[in-house]
Amino acid sequence: MTTTAAARAERLTRARKAQAERGVDALLLGPSADLAYLTGYRPPALERLTMLVLPTHGDARLVVPALEAPLARDHLGELDVEVAAWPETDDPVRLVGDALAAAGAARGRLGVGDQLWSGFLLRLQGALGAASFLPASAVTRQLRMRKDPEEVQALARVAAAIDQVVEGLAGLRWAGRTERDLYRDIEQAIRDTHDEFGFAVVASGPNAASPHHTATGRVIQPGDPVVVDIGGRLDGYCSDTTRTLVVDEPPPGFRELYALLHAAQLAGCAAVRPGVTAAAVDAACRDPITAAGHDELFLHRTGHGIGLDEHEEPYIVAGNDEPLEPGMAFSIEPGIYPRGHYGARIEDIVVCTDDGGRRLNTTSRDLRIVS
């Protein structure tokens, strides 16, 4: 990650302030986007415990396996976090308890990372009988949901990288090749433009009616619509975009369906501005599809937040009354899926700004004809 040490120090300060406001005595964060956001360090989730102990009042400590400590120190840099390295035969849960005790928080309310493995949480609960536990997202969601300008730039860079992959789709051969062949080509293109490959949905013909289809040995035919939903990671931040292609000529009725989907996606993007709720954006995107009598074919929510995680807050879904604020970044991705026939989806990442939604993916949303 390229976040400066000063920006990360500022995030630790904001986290502690939010902890104080919510009566949380310490955060306990394992390998996760929360940990990466606050420290710039994103270790893999392993059976050996790595955990940031961030007391509201007192010293921050990173409990880390001894063999990971050099890498952890590199990532932390100047950040005011003490490294407590544990040798193979030591008990890391005891070190977490020590760090909490040193800050007077061992009997307090502890915010545990939402993605911490339950095995670790059960051990912590066993060792810290007097403490109470709540999800760390009670503190971190408010921090991470609003992206600062540096994060918006990172999201724009990774969106440009995935857009480059989208522009390359027309140059691939589609007819007569399997979904898996295309998956491999696209995976390579994502690796060439990102730090990490994320995922690639290549769903052709009737398979396109399944939103998260896994590429199979199905041979792509002339006349097939193909949904391509792809993403990766660059400087820690995620990309995610979907375009729908047709090999040669679209099947009967498909152009009309696609025009409806396109209009819905535009309506969703146009609804984005500060103060509008996530639910209202979902409704704006869904209404044209409902009005055309196809509401039951739009199987999922309109979108999800994106940042250090592929899916994060805010979720663009009915019932989410969170008002949008400048800096919130999320997908607008309506889809129409007539089962047994075909499917279509259009997805862009949009950032809420003072002037409305700014689309980070800038490739054409028109139906793409390939061969």
Total residues binding Zn ion (CB under 5 A)? 5
3-state secondary structure of 341: coil
| Stretch of 10-18, 30-38, 141-149, 326-334 lying at the interface with Zn ion (CB under 5 A) | 326-334
Verify binding: residue 240, Zn ion, rule CB under 5 A. Answer: yes
H/E stretch holding 26: strand 26-29
Q: Per-residue x/- mask for Zn ion, residues 199 to 238, rule CB under 5 A? A: ------------------------------x---------
Rounded to whole angstroms, how far apart are CA atoms 52 and 16? 13
Verify binding: residue 265, Zn ion, rule CB under 5 A. Answer: no
Please identify, using beta-carbon distances, which residue of 280 and 306 lies nearer to Zn ion. 306
Please identify, using beta-carbon distances, which residue of 61 and 243 lies nearer to Zn ion. 243
Rounded to whole angstroms, how far apart are CA atoms 20 and 89? 35
- Min. distance of Cβ 348 from Zn ion in angstroms? 10
Verify binding: residue 348, Zn ion, rule CB under 5 A. Answer: no
| Stretch of 159-167, 269-277, 343-351, 353-361 lying at the interface with Zn ion (CB under 5 A) | 343-351
Rounded to whole angstroms, how far apart are CA atoms 269 and 281? 8
Verify binding: residue 151, Zn ion, rule CB under 5 A. Answer: no
Residue 69 CB partners (closer than 8 Å, separation 6+): 83, 85
Verify binding: residue 181, Zn ion, rule CB under 5 A. Answer: no
Verify binding: residue 179, Zn ion, rule CB under 5 A. Answer: no
Please identify, using beta-carbon distances, which residue of 181 and 347 lies nearer to Zn ion. 347
In this structure, are residues 11 and 118 in contact, taking their beta carbons and an 8 Å threshold? Answer: no
Q: Per-residue x/- mask for Zn ion, residues 38 to 77, rule CB under 5 A? A: ----------------------------------------
Verify binding: residue 312, Zn ion, rule CB under 5 A. Answer: no
Residue 194 CB partners (closer than 8 Å, separation 6+): 158, 161, 162, 232, 233, 234, 239
* Tokens describing residue 24: 């949380």
Residue 47 has, within 13 A of its CA and on its CB side, a CA count of 1
- Min. distance of Cβ 345 from Zn ion in angstroms? 8
Measured CA distances, 92 to 43, 128, 161, 297 (Å): 16, 13, 40, 49
- Min. distance of Cβ 303 from Zn ion in angstroms? 7
Please identify, using beta-carbon distances, which residue of 55 and 357 lies nearer to Zn ion. 357
Strand 241-247 to 368-370 pairing: parallel
Q: Among residues 32, 193, 331, 361, which is the contact residue for Zn ion, using CB under 5 A?
A: 331
* Tokens describing residue 243: 């375009």
- Min. distance of Cβ 244 from Zn ion in angstroms? 12
* Tokens describing residue 211: 């939103």
Verify binding: residue 313, Zn ion, rule CB under 5 A. Answer: no
Task: For residue 269, give the nearest of 320, 324, 208, 338 by alpha carbon.
Answer: 324
Measured CA distances, 34 to 16, 68, 174, 349 (Å): 13, 19, 40, 21
Q: Looking at this protein, which amino acid is placed at residue 56?
A: T
Verify binding: residue 282, Zn ion, rule CB under 5 A. Answer: no
Range list of β-strands (E), 235-308: 237-238, 241-247, 303-305
Strand 132-135 to 60-65 pairing: unpaired
- Min. distance of Cβ 214 from Zn ion in angstroms? 12
Verify binding: residue 163, Zn ion, rule CB under 5 A. Answer: no
Please identify, using beta-carbon distances, which residue of 136 and 272 lies nearer to Zn ion. 272
Please identify, using beta-carbon distances, which residue of 168 and 198 lies nearer to Zn ion. 198
| Stretch of 47-55, 69-77, 145-153, 346-354 lying at the interface with Zn ion (CB under 5 A) | 346-354
Question: Interface residues with Zn ion (CB under 5 A)?
Answer: 229, 240, 242, 331, 347
